[in-house]
Amino acid sequence: MRFPFSAVVGHDDLRLALLLNAVHPAVGGVLVRGEKGTAKSTAVRALASLLPAVSVVEECRFGCDPASPDPGCPDGPHPAGGAVETRPARLVELPVGATEDRLVGALDLERALAEGVRAYQPGLLAEAHRGVLYVDEVNLLHDHLVDLLLDAAAMGRAHVERDGVSVSHAARFLLVGTMNPEEGELRPQLLDRFGLTVEVAASRDVATRAEVVRRGLAFEADPAGFAAAWGDADRAIAARIADARARLAAVTLSDRELCRIAGVCAAVDVDGMRADLVIARAAAAHAAWRGADEVEEQDVRVAARLALPHRRRRDPFDEPGIDDKTLDEAMRSAAENLDDDPDPEPEPPTPDGPGSGPGPDASGGPGADGSQPDDAQPGGSGADASQADGSRASDTGSSQPGADGAADDPVGAPVPAPRPLRLASSAVRRFRVPGVGEGTPGRRSRARTATGRVVRSSTTAPRRAADLHLPATLTAAAPHQRSRGAGRFDVRPADLRSAEREGREGNLVLFVVDASGSMAARKRMSAVSGAVLALLRDAYRRRDKVGLVSFRGGSAEVALPPTSSVPAAQARLATLRTGGRTPLAEGLLRARRVLDAERRRDPRRRALLVLLTDGRATVATREGGDPVADACRAAGLLAADRVHTVVVDCESGPVRLGLAGTVAGHAGGELVRLDELSAESVAGVVSRAA
């Protein structure tokens, strides 16, 4: 029993975005961003029950519509007048641990071996056809899986070319992804592929929170009775969805509103043309939802508010969002351009010119599932969460030039944040963990992975067709053919060999930053923070998990527990405090404890420790001890734990003690000077940050 859609408290923008996609799936799906426990999954699952039932060709695994079956259906061709069945629209959930085989389908290995037939086993994309595909924690999926499902959502078809199978089938579905930004961000390129985005947050209003709990308890006590109490409201929304779908094809988008859309997108300086197309489709869906026959300014504003926030995020450390002021200014700028030329005449199309494409049409294709809640009014208050996030995004990266060191700064002064940087992919040296791991797929160190190049075979039985090492299997079976006397090449289970593949993994990159007075006194902390920012950007590209330990005064602290959210590390770096003595040994011991805890939590993910220090140690771990000797002993413990360490020597000036090199030697790690991280980029980072 699902929680009723109409019983969801608040989240007007979320319900509106879901229903606009239900009216017109060509909008491109919804990405729901928000903190844990905000009913993201509840709202998505509730939507599926509102979608109209679908008629399908009986026993078709791909859900073909009897009125217009897919001519390329692998289960076809379907003759006219065949058996038909009616079923509810499906809600298909893609688990975080799903493989490519499970998503797109693959060769049925059992039938291929037992019956000698090349049978295709459909995946989740086929199952979701004409329904809803829900991806919880989409930011935790591997990038190539996200690419596959977004491509299918955009094209309406899934193409499978693998394991000797060549299949193409229809895959039109309403795509919904949810994510918690604290667990890592999607790349801007993938964010752009989602049509709309919504920020959700728990209400701070006491009455609203109390009502959420009241309805939740009532549903738990009597799910059927609670659903029945809200049944009329849900049926009204479902009827409105059906009406909007029928009306969508007749909704017109005038040249004036089309120019308004283009003006808004130009005013906020979004990249590419996808935003314009999404806004046009979403505005048409909103007009159909209102019961109108023509797109108006209010429809454009609602669509822009939902389609633009994530497309303004260009840098990995930019937060998505657009506030009311920015949107109002963009709408005003677009309106002024319209007033200058109230009836623009489109240029006549030419065979090869820019006007040769099809004319603008907001309806953009066949109608689809969806609607919007009765209380979700155009321009309503549901945008508060995303607008608040957008206002924060406008401040991201603003900083002051580097300040004087500890001689002038009081103990505990904040680190001057480096200016926003846009580094090339080759900006920073790539540090790797030696050996071959088995961790989460990424782009840093060598690892045995399910994808990648085949490096050898093994006697382990393959679990899927893609794992079969065919040459090794045939080689293993060949010597036994005469004794088996089958009259054909006989392959038995004992002959099967699996392929071992090698690719790249993401690591845990733990930054240990010396924030003591010895660093700040030489005006180096702003340069160090700039270098860490460059390394963080590299970690973002490599799909690493990151953490941050700082030490100053008499102790060390975990400024950021290991997380997949690299932007969170950048935010903590901007608020790092400096000054005081240098407890280097305590910083290394604290980092060791963090790594030990992470090793127990995720034993397959290997660690890379990056220590940024000048090597000076002034605080011993025990009274009367030698601070430098204690630091070297702590570094030796890291070496004993087989932690790969990179020491970035931040010492400068004509007289250098080389203490950072001593620490690196005891840790058995690499020693890199601050200005050697990248001859091309980090040197520029340091000069601009100072």
Rounded Cα distance, 101 and 494, in Å: 24
Task: Report, in angstroms and rounded to the nearest whole number, the Rg of the chain calculated over CA atoms.
Answer: 29
**259: part of which helix (H) or strand (E)?**
helix 255-267
| CA distance to 113, 119, 468, 476, 483, per residue, from 492 (Å) | 9, 19, 13, 10, 13
In sequence order, what are the residues at sequence separation of 6 or more whose Cβ sits closer than 8 angstroms to the Cβ of residue 315? 188, 397, 420, 422
Q: For 513-567, give the secondary structure using H, E and C.
A: EECCHHHHCCCCHHHHHHHHHHHHHHHHHCCCEEEEEEEECCEEEEEEEEECCHH
* 556, β-bridge pairs: 551
- Tokens 């924060």 locate to 392
44: its two tokens: 């998505």
In sequence order, what are the residues at sequence separation of 6 or more whose Cβ sits closer than 8 angstroms to the Cβ of residue 168? 72, 157, 158, 159, 160
301 is an active site residue: no
Question: Which of 549, 547, 548, 552 lies closest to 520, judged by CA?
Answer: 552
Cα 642 from chain centre: 31
CB-count exposure of residue 315 (10 Å: 0-12, 13-18, 19+): middle
Rounded Cα distance, 487 and 93, in Å: 47
668: its two tokens: 């058995």
Annotated catalytic residue, options 245, 247, 260, 274: 274
Under 8 Å between Cβ of 38 and 13: no
For residue 231, the one-letter residue type is G
Coil, strand or helix at 240: helix
Rounded Cα distance, 270 and 290, in Å: 28
Rounded Cα distance, 32 and 49, in Å: 19
First to last CA, the chain: 60
Under 8 Å between Cβ of 47 and 132: yes
Describe the crossing of helices 274-290 and 231-248 by its angle, rounded to 10 degrees: 120
DSSP of 261-327? HHHHHHHTT-SSSHHHHHHHHHHHHHHHHHT-SB--HHHHHHHHHHHSGGGG--STTPPP---HHHH
Residues with active-site annotation: 274
